[in-house]
Amino acid sequence: MPTKLMRQHPDSKQAQARALAVWFDQHRDSQYRNAQGEKMFEYGRPWWSVIEKSSGMPTGPVYPMGWDAPWMVPQQYIADSIGRIAKQELTQTIQPKNVNSDRFRIAYERMAKDDRDATQMHYQLAVTVATNKNLPIPKWGDVMDARLVTIVGVQPRSPKIAEAALAGNKWLLGQLMPTPNAVTGKMEVEEDEQLARLLRMHSESLWTPEQAERDAETQAIAQSEVKALFDEVVAMKKEMAAERAAMDAERAAKATKVPKKPAKAEV
């Protein structure tokens, strides 16, 4: 799999066997610009990860590169997606110096199915428990009796979250550009109230202190390399944009050029 190999730290044999990679997901947006006016998502949302050189696959989490969003898809639906796009489906992304950038498609369909199945099982359990305990029988989608929740637990993550991501909800994906807020006088991103409520109802599984420590260490070690990688990607985007502008100008000039009339033949 094409990857971006970076400078390695000689701390251990394990470190020497690993590198950094850059990935792009399916969420392209040629209109979005960040505060610096850069087109962040023209080729999809960029991610980075530590990889094993031998396999080219991530050794841990895949992190957003230079962007943020109100929700991050659970890692298993990213990891399971990498390497599954057929070569004929791959499209041109960016090609920095000595780099082949690769793509992946987040498995939202499977996430939505998993969440629907979990919600169905949770509801069936709640009905059974409510019947046995003589509690109010919950209706599908309604708020459950607090006494019932203490027994069966809170409702699983709503499948509407994965469905919204699959449909390209820009607020959820971190691709909604800020607009003026008349009350605060600031440029702000307007919250999707329904999705925000669903997100607040659920929290991702918390890492153990050991996992959190390893994650922080990984990000700290890779920080300078990721910054260099991000700068290289930005520079390459600007170069490609300049090349496209020059080609467009050349085509426009040819289109407006008046053809010379053929000279009249002498009699």
- Residue-wise pLDDT tens for the chain (267 aa)? 333 434 444 455 555 777 778 888 999 998 898 777 788 898 889 888 888 877 777 888 888 888 889 999 998 898 777 766 555 444 455 544 444 357 788 999 999 999 999 999 999 999 999 999 999 998 887 778 888 989 998 889 999 999 999 999 999 999 998 888 878 878 888 889 999 988 887 755 444 555 555 566 666 655 666 666 667 666 766 776 677 778 777 777 877 766 666 656 554
Dihedral sign computed on CA atoms, order 169, 201, 113, 135: negative
Are 83 and 57 within 8 A, CB to CB?
yes
47 burial via Cβ count (<10 Å: 0-12, 13-18, 19+)? buried
* This prediction's pTM: 0.69
Sole residue written with tokens 């006016």: 37
Q: Where are the beta strands (DSSP E) in the chain?
A: 18-24, 46-52, 58-64, 102-103, 179-180, 187-188
Q: What single letter denotes the amino acid at residue 168?
A: G
